A = this chain, B = another copy of it.
């Protein structure tokens, strides 16, 4: 899972970024102002020097629940946020790929696993993080897997062994619980939910 405005991992000046702030116009380099443009209803970062309005929109995080012989593939995160906690393969969607391709790519990157992406499982609006998380069901034709660069370890776990108290994100838990419930019921519906921590903590930038 790549960050959205993360700092370069190298010697050099410390990062000053937050993905939700904008100080300068990315087109012309002039300072931007945060105000409501004519005809609009929300404040935007506006450049009066070159006329560009910089819209900010939610980002898509895409993942899947890979299953092999009744067990679920989980990854323990090697990166922040939530380093050391468990999740399913997921990450920011890239330009030029489909949702299903993104889920397969993240599975390969984080767990060195090839998956066959299946039906839509869950859509989670993570309002405080300005993200939409999309999860699919996925099959693992073989039990070959291992930790990618962003994982400390990867494991195929029986449902009874899922570490519910050590999951990285609420959206991970939502996807896993719906997955298991649906599997027990014999159906493959999809589920929507919304997580909003804007009222309970300030400055949240990750789910």
What is the oligomeric copy number? Answer: 2
For residue A7, CB closer than 8 A to chain B, the reply is yes
Interface of A is mostly: loop
Chain B residues with CB under 8 Å of A13's CB are: 49-51
Residue among A26, A27, A29, A192 having the largest count of chain B Cβ atoms under 10 Å: A26
Of A93-101, A151-159, A163-171, the one contacting chain B is A93-101
The answer for the CA separation of A57 and B96 in the assembled complex, in Å, is 9
For residue A8, CB closer than 8 A to chain B, the reply is yes
For residue A28, CB closer than 8 A to chain B, the reply is yes
Contact A52 B123 (CB under 8 A): no
Least CB distance, A30 to chain B, in whole angstroms: 8
Contact A52 B198 (CB under 8 A): no
Chain B residues with CB under 8 Å of A25's CB are: 24, 26
Chain B residues with CB under 8 Å of A58's CB are: 60, 93-95
Q: What are 15 A-to-B residue pairs whose CB atoms are below 8 Å?
A: A3-B55, A4-B57, A7-B52, A7-B53, A8-B46, A8-B51, A9-B38, A12-B51, A15-B52, A17-B27, A24-B27, A26-B32, A58-B93, A60-B60, A96-B198
